[in-house]
Amino acid sequence: MVPREVKEVVRTDDPDVALMLLCKGGDDVAFSQLVEKYEDRVLGLAYRYLGDRGLAEDMAQEAFLRVYRARGRYEPRAKFSTWLYRIVVNLALNELRWQRGRPSVALAVKTETSSNVNIDHTDSGLLPPMETLEKEELAVRIREIVMELPENQRIAILLNKFEDLSYEETAEAMEMSVAAVKSLLTRARVKIKERLLPYLGEDVHAM
Amino acid sequence: MRCEEIRELLVAHADGELDDVERERVDSHLANCPACRRERAAFESTGNLLSLLGPVPGAGRSISARVMATVRGEDPWCGHIRRELTAFVDGELTEAEARPVREHLATCAACAAESRALERTGDALRAWKLPSMRIGLARLFAPPRARGRLLRFAAALAAACLLLAVGIAFFVSESGTATPPPGLLRAMEMLDPATLEILDQDPGLLEIVRDLELLESVTDEEVALLTLNGSGG
Ligand SMILES: [Zn+2]
Ligand SMILES: [Zn+2]
């Protein structure tokens, strides 16, 4: 991935910025177009972050409502998507108000994984090799590993690996320096590697 | 460069996020170091495995439908705002609490109208109740001749507050079948039609009454006394 240049000027090259400016001017149709364009991405990010479909829907909805409520203050200083991700990140890391009265995230994830698949999680150091595991089971294991990451590492990994944000864009969405993002991602990837190494094929070990 | 330094750069190397100088240094190290090469490959493979997290189960158009419905008026956020609105109107929220309410009111016509209505009813109540109540209480222990009338007045108001407090304000609107207690009837006599309408329509009145410190300015004992006296006279 090549780092993209982020300009601190009005983004006339971003069609979503144009839509958002229309929304700012009172055009709800423009807003609905933005929601439809980004809902799958925001829902996906929320789902992978929270591990629960219902909670993810609430979070995605809240993110878009915040976009709508903030429309009057909107200034096109970054790509629209970066601004949107910043709202999602803020919701994920700083704001728990919207999920007050909900069961804890950890609880929701536990329920979901344990009802789907039976894997012995008690001894993660002695996991069976990849070929004996169903792909689905591996997916569950990966989900658990991602959920075990600290929240800021988790959101950084999701932005970088699933939303295809460069380090610089991830830094912008998380309102931190590129160096801090690099460090977060390295720590996250070391942890993921350690937990997933038992699943990797022989080719990697033989290299 | 030593292996330790190289390891710090391997994730960014696998992600294609190194600048040219760094990348060349890592590349030349990797060419001669099988251990770091293995490490680099492990980062890449495990990174690729993340794709198994997969898509959201049962994705659809549910989000946009819900968001747009909310934007068009049936807004759960509005529900939250409405619950804070009385305190907001009375200036009882902290700045941090008040800011989202203010921002919401700037963009939501329905909640803004509700806010204005609350302001009006608050003003009406203030104008109607506070002076009378305070005079009434101040004069409670005044000479006997003046006390009779004042007691009745204060008792009626206190009864109204009490009845509101236990949530039977609906008597005002649904007294067709039930017989309101005498205290309430007298309290109602004291109310002008506009206030009755407010009572009728505003389930949040109790909070307004509380905010006006009507109840706080009267001890439980005083209210009990007033109510007893009122129902007797
Ligand atoms: Zn090395
Ligand atoms: Zn509203």
Domains of chain A: 1-104 (1.10.1740.10), 106-207 (1.10.10.10)
Residues contacting residue B191 through CB under 8 Å, at least 6 positions apart: B128, B160, B199
CA of B210: how far to CAs of A45, A185, B125, in Å? 44, 53, 11
Distance CA A184, CA A158 (A): 12
Tokens of A19: 């839509």
Ligand 2 centroid to A182 CA: how many Å? 41
Which residues in chain B have their CB less than 8 angstroms from residue A49's CB?
none
Average pLDDT of the residues in A20-35 = 90
For the cut 90, the answer to whether the pLDDT of residue A166 exceeds it is yes
Question: Would you say the pTM of this structure is higher than 0.80?
Answer: no
Least confident segment among A113-117, A177-181, B64-68, B150-154: A113-117
CA of A75: how far to CAs of A15, A22, A38, A72, in Å? 14, 12, 19, 9
Answer yes or no: do B17 and A1 touch at CB < 8 A. Answer: yes
> Nearest CA of chain A to the CA of B29: how many Å?
15
Is residue B231 a contact partner of residue B182, using CB atoms and an 8 Å limit? yes
For the cut 70, the answer to whether the pLDDT of residue A172 exceeds it is yes
The residue among A136 and B186 whose pLDDT is bigger is A136
For the cut 60, the answer to whether the pLDDT of residue A1 exceeds it is no
| DSSP helix/strand/coil, A121 | coil
Only one residue has tokens 């609105």, namely B85
For B151, phi and psi rounded to 5 degrees? -60, -45
For A133, phi and psi rounded to 5 degrees? -100, 140
Answer yes or no: do B63 and A64 touch at CB < 8 A. Answer: yes
Distance CA B114, CA B88 (A): 12
For the cut 60, the answer to whether the pLDDT of residue A190 exceeds it is yes
Smallest Cβ–Cβ distance between B64 and the set A2, A39, A182 belongs to A39
For the cut 90, the answer to whether the pLDDT of residue A149 exceeds it is yes
Residues contacting residue A103 through CB under 8 Å, at least 6 positions apart: none
- Percent of chain A whose pLDDT exceeds 70: 71
| Confidence at residue A45, expressed as pLDDT on a 0 to 100 scale | 93
- List, run by run, the mean pLDDT of 10-residue segments along chain B (233 residues): 90 94 96 95 89 72 78 71 87 90 80 79 64 42 44 52 47 38 44 50 45 44 45 36
Residues within 5 A (CB) of ion ligand 2? B 78, 108, 111
Least confident segment among A7-16, A138-147, B17-26, B100-109: A7-16
Give the ligand with the smallest distance to the CA of B30.
Answer: 1
Q: Which of residues 95-154 of A touch B (CB under 8 A)?
A: 135, 138-139, 142-143, 146
CA torsion through residues B172, B173, B176, B177, sign? negative
Cite the DSSP H helix spans in B92-177.
Answer: 95-107, 109-138, 144-165, 171-174
Q: How much of chain A is helix, strand and coil, in % rounded to 5?
A: 70, 0, 30
Mean pLDDT, chain A, whole residue set: 78
